[in-house]
Chain A
Amino acid sequence: MNRTGKLAYNAAVVIAAAAAAMGIGAIVLAAVGADIFKAYAVILTEPLKDMIGLTEIVVRAVPLSLIAMGIAIAFRSGILNIGAEGQMLMGILASSATAIACASLPKPVLIPLAILAGAAGGAAWGGIAGALKARLGVNEILSTVMLNYIAAQFYTFLLRGPLMDPEELLTGSGTPQTVRMPRSAWLDRLLPGTRLHSGVFIALGLAVVVFLLLWRTSTGFRMRAAGAEAKAARYAGVKVQRYLVLAMLLSGAFAGMAGAVEILGVHRRAIEGVSGGYGFTGIVVALFGGLHPAGIIPASLFFGLLLLGADMTQRLADVPANMVLVLQGAIILAIVSARQFMSNPYVQDKVARACAKMFRRPPPPAPPGSIEACPDPSDSVDPCLVGEDSAVGDSSAVGDNPAAGEGSVKKRGTR
């Protein structure tokens, strides 16, 4: 399969997975007695009908893409970070505490400072899981999930205690939230009457940074090598443990920045429920986007649409907004299984043959396949040798003819 063919194939996989997920969702919608078509129509089109809808999609996509990029860094480096939710909360705490404490600083200093503080908070939380994995071999899935719980409780404790807005206690309703951020820490709103904020540029800029880091620097090269085959990386002199910790620090930093940007751009104070499951949805966005910034940006917009649309279904189609969670789960299952199935070179080959037949073109050369899909790597024919003429063997040979090698090529050609 050539490059475009491969891209088209991958896109087809994603679309097929989305369709399958929709199918599963339809069953659930039917079970709760909702109008399936109306529900989907609302989810997919309603948010696109006005400017507020469009900007709200982007507002949701900003933290989603930031988190997803952090998760992509971790996944590419061979560590499964499920802890973005907790890392985001720690980032929010660090960021808002910094912004409130340093309220007197001018805007060009305070905003970067607050965002970096968020990054540091997230990185610290992610780094714990990374260090545990590197030093003691603690499974990162367990540790990040458990750290999520700790972060959630810690966040609630601070918001209801030390960091709570004193006004709320004296005169207000006792809502657990911090004081308002100083104005100098606010990210600018870009369009009047909407919540679209300048965090969108931060997300786009960091997408470029992530791409450069992973695919254009020697650090990224080593991280990807450690993730793809830790043993080979170690044998090549890469300090795998060190890159593991680095990957978790970066991954946590991105989740922390997502929290900081969300607070400084949208809410302007730390409130409860601010993460809203972004940390988990971000994992889906990262997978859906193929663990690559160029895929994550559109994927985050798509999930922004889904999240917003789901809120609207409650109002317009009388379907609970939690339905979107069902859809998300279905999408994860569909994507993961589709990838497992479709990445099999045997399947790819069949598809390529079928396509070639359809368009009456000679079949493309063998796709590079993963080794596990090959029956026995040490005993499979070298694809590069197939096209060669073999030397003629002993004349007494049975069933041999001068065109032995060529013959096999011809057979493939006509298929």
Chain B
Amino acid sequence: MGHEPIRSLELRGITKRFPGILACDHIDLSVGEHSVRALVGENGAGKTTLMNILMGLYQPDEGRILINGRDVRFRSPNDAFDHGIGMVHQHFMLVQNMTVAENVALGMKSSHRSFRLDIAAVRKRILEVSERHELPVNPDALVWQLSVGEQQRVELVKTLCLGARFLILDEPTSALTPQETDELISLLQKMSSELSIVFISHKLHEVKALSDTVSILRRGKIVFEGRTENHSPADLAALMTGHEVELPRVDSGSAARGGAPGLLSIRELRVKGDRGNLALDGVSLEIAPGEIVGLAGVSGNGQRELAEALNGLRPVESGSIRLDGAELAGGSAGDVIREGMGYIPEDRNTEGIVPSFSVKENLVLKDIGGKEWSAGGFLRLGAIADNAKALRERFDIRCPSTDTAAGSLSGGNIQKVILARELARGPKALVAVYPTRGLDMGAEEFIHKQLLARRSEGVAILLISEELEEIMNLSDRIAVIYKGAILKVVPGKDATKRSLGLLMAGVADE
């Protein structure tokens, strides 16, 4: 700290290579004082890599960074901090079982005396910063007790306490409710009078609301730079993907399925969470064949536990889960799979695939013991390879070969591998958890189309998502989950973002 303020920051010709990938290709970017620059682009466009270079986490292969016209070199994030650059990462970098003040103290070298920590000074600094920027934060709260939105504020306060005058925010709204997002945006608008902000996002309405100028990255190159006000979100989306994007929508006008008996029927389900608390308290939900029911809610309200219980991965305390008449509660994961349940799990890299296994092995992961893929205990390698070839084509899985390790593919292609496996099994019902989280619009479009196609084939689909747009586009009915119970079920066509947002916050009556 104690450095001169950043009046201008410039990146010139930044190039960074990863194995087989040119992540950043001669990128030029300059950001002035008191401005908000949005950096948008699809996954893998190089946004995060570029910002990690700016933070000193990566060294560029070529190119220079200039602050106020002078060359600087960041060997580590500490160098970047010293120049007043701070970053709030997409995944919060907070120690969960420490207090807010302790978390801030971790990075505040000035509070480290020789044999003790000057926590009083840290607390004073936190209160100073939070007052100045109107960021209410309790320095003595334990981080794990805070909501996601509060943790986001702690991250901001932490970065500001370290003296950042130049903020990089990597997809700051990805875990927030609509209301929290609005709050954050108005907060950042106020802060921009004192700070410079680079804001990474692929939510274009946020970009519109917040930024002065926007840079669009595509495949490691800046393809567009301009003032935000002159362009509509649709323009920006087209620039981002290189083609017009129109996400498909469900047409649930004709069929009225309200009272029909469910193909997947959940009654009075009670399930315990990891801490022994009751994570689901009497959840009932009917999903008819050919129906998509969206489950909206802020994450951590029981979605994960519901998905796990439905798939035999979490013991059921009481209640019943019936799929086409067969009772699933109490069954093992294998039993549920055999009954014809499809599952797109939340964490695709550790739950959906075995990363070190090849694409073709991952495509038969669930049915390896079945007659189709093994005979007398021995694998039918030919059939497995043919299956992979067919599915690769049908689902447009882009991989060098089906022998490639699935973990080395991009997120979108990993998701396609999972989707291909689950759908090729011909499931009766499908539980899709955050199926497009972190994916770009092209992949999102593909996955949405696949889900709608399964819907018209009569599959009962439970779509769990935090993206209201996704839920509203695809769902026949929308159930809102709050603190382990279904607060309300509304028809998809009647739902608005505002009404869902209130329900997600626990307000049942307007």
Show the binding face of A for B, using Cβ within 8 Å: 212, 216-219, 221-222, 224-225, 228-229, 231-239, 345-346, 348-349, 365-371, 374-386, 390-394, 396-400, 404-405, 407-408, 411-412
Closest to A405 in B: B219
With A379-B49, A412-B22 as known contacts, state yes or no: A218 contacts B377, CB within 8 Å. yes
Contact of B22 with A411 in the complex, beta carbons under 8 Å: yes
Interface string of B15-44 (1 = CB under 8 A from A): 000111111010010000000000000011
Interface string of B352-391 (1 = CB under 8 A from A): 1111110001000110110001100111010000000000
With A377-B349, A400-B224 as known contacts, state yes or no: A237 contacts B334, CB within 8 Å. yes
Contact of A368 with B378 in the complex, beta carbons under 8 Å: no
Q: Which residues of B have CB within 8 Å of A383?
A: 20-21, 400, 408-410
Contact of B369 with A218 in the complex, beta carbons under 8 Å: yes
Contact of B407 with A370 in the complex, beta carbons under 8 Å: yes
Question: In the assembled complex, how far is the CB of residue B339 from the closest CB belonging to chain A, in whole angstroms?
Answer: 11
**How long is the Cα–Cα vector from A369 to B405 in the complex, in angstroms?**
8
Which of B238, B368, B407 touches A221 (beta carbons < 8 Å)? B368
Q: Which residues of A have CB within 8 Å of B28?
A: 399
Beyond the given A232-B365, A370-B408, A375-B52, please list 15 additional residue pairs across the A-B interface where CB-CB is below 8 A: A218-B373, A221-B361, A221-B368, A228-B356, A236-B365, A237-B332, A349-B18, A365-B400, A369-B408, A384-B400, A385-B219, A397-B223, A397-B224, A404-B221, A411-B22
Question: In the assembled complex, how far is the CB of residue B174 from the closest CB belonging to chain A, in whole angstroms?
Answer: 11
With A218-B377, A370-B408 as known contacts, state yes or no: A381 contacts B58, CB within 8 Å. no
Interface residues on B, range: 35 or more
CB of B117 within 8 Å of the partner chain: no
Within 8 A of A (CB), among B40-59: 43-49, 52, 58
Question: In the assembled complex, how far is the CB of residue A80 from the closest CB belonging to chain B, in whole angstroms?
Answer: 17
Question: In the assembled complex, how far is the CB of residue A388 from the closest CB belonging to chain B, in whole angstroms?
Answer: 9
Contact of A235 with B352 in the complex, beta carbons under 8 Å: yes
Question: In the assembled complex, how far is the CB of residue B392 from the closest CB belonging to chain A, in whole angstroms?
Answer: 11
Q: Which residues of B have CB within 8 Å of A381?
A: 18, 21-23, 44-46, 219-220, 410
26 sample A-B contacts, Cβ–Cβ < 8 Å, listed by A number: A216-B379, A217-B377, A218-B368, A225-B354, A225-B361, A229-B353, A229-B355, A229-B356, A231-B351, A232-B351, A239-B332, A366-B20, A366-B408, A368-B400, A371-B407, A376-B49, A380-B49, A381-B23, A381-B44, A383-B20, A393-B239, A393-B242, A394-B239, A397-B224, A400-B223, A411-B22
With A381-B220, A383-B21 as known contacts, state yes or no: A217 contacts B374, CB within 8 Å. yes
With A375-B18, A390-B242 as known contacts, state yes or no: A235 contacts B377, CB within 8 Å. no
Question: In the assembled complex, how far is the CB of residue A75 from the closest CB belonging to chain B, in whole angstroms?
Answer: 13
Question: In the assembled complex, how far is the CB of residue A170 from the closest CB belonging to chain B, in whole angstroms?
Answer: 53
Contact of B43 with A378 in the complex, beta carbons under 8 Å: yes
With A229-B354, A233-B354 as known contacts, state yes or no: A378 contacts B438, CB within 8 Å. yes
Closest to B350 in A: A231
With A367-B19, A379-B44 as known contacts, state yes or no: A394 contacts B218, CB within 8 Å. no
With A379-B47, A404-B219 as known contacts, state yes or no: A386 contacts B354, CB within 8 Å. no
Q: Which residues of A have CB within 8 Å of B354?
A: 225, 228-229, 232-233
Which of B19, B220, B352, B379 touches A349 (beta carbons < 8 Å)? B19
Nearest 6 A/B pairs, CB to CB: A366-B20, A382-B410, A349-B19, A237-B334, A384-B398, A381-B44
Q: Which residues of A have CB within 8 Å of B131?
A: none
Which of B224, B377, B399 touches A398 (beta carbons < 8 Å)? B224
**How long is the Cα–Cα vector from A369 to B336 in the complex, in angstroms?**
33
CB of B243 within 8 Å of the partner chain: yes
Q: Which residues of A have CB within 8 Å of B377?
A: 217-219
CB of B74 within 8 Å of the partner chain: no
Which of A221, A377, A393 touches B218 (beta carbons < 8 Å)? A393
Contact of B21 with A397 in the complex, beta carbons under 8 Å: no
CB of B411 within 8 Å of the partner chain: yes
Q: Which of B18, B351, B366 has the most A CB atoms < 10 Å from its CB?
A: B18
Interface string of B303-340 (1 = CB under 8 A from A): 00000000101000000000000000000111011100
Contact of A371 with B366 in the complex, beta carbons under 8 Å: no
Contact of B378 with A382 in the complex, beta carbons under 8 Å: no
**How long is the Cα–Cα vector from A408 to B27 in the complex, in angstroms?**
13
Q: Which residues of A have CB within 8 Å of B338?
A: 237
**How long is the Cα–Cα vector from A225 to B350 in the complex, in angstroms?**
11
Question: In the assembled complex, how far is the CB of residue A330 from the closest CB belonging to chain B, in whole angstroms?
Answer: 28
Q: Which residues of A have CB within 8 Å of B482?
A: none
CB of B343 within 8 Å of the partner chain: yes
Q: Which residues of A have CB within 8 Å of B224?
A: 393-394, 396-398, 400
Q: Which residues of B have CB within 8 Å of A228?
A: 354-357
**How long is the Cα–Cα vector from A397 to B242 in the complex, in angstroms?**
11
CB of B201 within 8 Å of the partner chain: no
Closest to A407 in B: B25
Which of B21, B219, B337 touches A237 (beta carbons < 8 Å)? B337
**How long is the Cα–Cα vector from A213 to B350 in the complex, in angstroms?**
25
Question: In the assembled complex, how far is the CB of residue A217 from the closest CB belonging to chain B, in whole angstroms?
Answer: 5
With A235-B343, A235-B345, A399-B222 as known contacts, state yes or no: A365 contacts B379, CB within 8 Å. no
Contact of B311 with A386 in the complex, beta carbons under 8 Å: no
CB of B261 within 8 Å of the partner chain: no
Which of B19, B351, B407 touches A346 (beta carbons < 8 Å)? B19
Contact of A232 with B352 in the complex, beta carbons under 8 Å: yes
Q: Which residues of B have CB within 8 Å of A384?
A: 398-400, 409-410, 413
CB of B225 within 8 Å of the partner chain: yes
Q: Which residues of A have CB within 8 Å of B222?
A: 398-399
Q: Which residues of B have CB within 8 Å of A345?
A: 18-19, 408
